[in-house]
Amino acid sequence: MKYRNLLFFLFLLVFSFDASSQDVSTFFDEADSFFSTYVSNGKVDYGAIYENPEALNKVLAMAKDVSVPISEEKTYQAFWINAYNLSVIKGIISNYPIKSPLDKKGFFDKTTYELAGTRITLNDIENKKLRAKFNEPRFHFVLVCGALGCPPIIPKAYTPANLEKLLEKQTVKALNDPSFIQVKGNKVAFSEIFKWYKEDFIKNGSEIDFLNQYRKEKVSTDAKVTYYSYDWRLNNK
């Protein structure tokens, strides 16, 4: 009898694991289809989503019950990055038309979304699910806040298989973009992302040291650092 109970328990455990893996995989597929349909050139077609929200609602409904243990590091990170970007879009569509995510009070720190069995704000996804658990400053170049000042959103989902490649690609792209990193003579103006999250970028040196890891044209280490104002206008297509 003991062996029978043990076998039954093991069966349920394996079945649960397989079902969870399938749920996550299906979520990534649906997210990829959504982003490829409604995102292009770093912008989102909010008008089209507003008119036909079924695809967005479908993928977010799937995200409600997804279970991703932190031990599956790449799957966990990819899930929460996609969940953040999808939830930003959902927040904008829920208040559309708006000119900026800041037009909605509490957009980042009050509005909650049902994801992976919990209700959570955008700030808590970024700070508690990702930043607090991983020493990964490149997150800042893939989490897209719905504004033009953000690094551009991409027309595909992040997955365990492509995550490392895309983290690197999006970081290199942002830090070599002259509108994102503004270099003039011996002065460099950073996005305010570097001001708000400075601690993430100076763990192994200065902000310029971090920047030069990804720059094709290096910035002088004694360059004067400033921060330009963030552009909170909507990243609308």
Q: If you average pLDDT over residues 27-53, what whole number do you get?
A: 98
| Cβ proximity of 180 and 151 under 8 Å | yes
- Identify the CA nearest to 125 among candidates 71, 63, 180: 63
CA 7 to chain centre: 40
Residue 226 lies in a domain: no
Q: What is the pLDDT of residue 22?
A: 61
What are the helix (H) ranges across 103-157?
122-124
Q: What is the pLDDT of residue 206?
A: 97
Q: If you average pLDDT over residues 218-224, what whole number do you get?
A: 97
Say whether pLDDT at 179 is over 60.
yes
Q: What is the pLDDT of residue 18?
A: 45
Say whether pLDDT at 15 is over 80.
no
Residue 130 lies in a domain: yes
CA 159 to chain centre: 12
Q: What is the pLDDT of residue 3?
A: 55
Under 8 Å CB-to-CB from 171, ≥6 apart: which residues? 138, 141, 214
Residue 229 lies in a domain: no
The long-range contacts involving 107-113, CB below 8 angstroms and separated by at least 24 positions, are 108/145, 113/60, 113/83, 113/87
Q: What's phi and psi for 82, nearest 5 deg?
A: -60, -45
| Cβ proximity of 188 and 162 under 8 Å | no
Q: What is the pLDDT of residue 86?
A: 98
Residue 237 lies in a domain: no
Residue 26 lies in a domain: yes
- Identify the CA nearest to 211 among candidates 223, 166, 127: 223
| Burial class of residue 167 (count of CB atoms within 10 Å of its CB; 0-12, 13-18, 19+) | buried
Q: What is the pLDDT of residue 12?
A: 40
Q: Which two tokens mark 42?
A: 């770093």
Residue 17 lies in a domain: yes
Say whether pLDDT at 58 is over 80.
yes
Q: What is the pLDDT of residue 4?
A: 56
Confidence of residue 16 (pLDDT cuts 50, 70, 90): very low
Q: If you average pLDDT over residues 182-197, what whole number do you get?
A: 98
Residue 211 lies in a domain: no
Across the chain, mean pLDDT equals: 93
Q: In the chain, how many domains are there?
A: 1
Domain span holding position 166: 2-170
Least confident of 12-21, 31-40, 172-181: 12-21
Summarize pLDDT for 92-140 with one digit per residue, the tens: 999 999 999 999 999 999 999 999 999 999 999 999 999 999 999 999 9
Residue 52 lies in a domain: yes
Q: What is the pLDDT of residue 162?
A: 98
Higher-confidence position of 14 and 62? 62
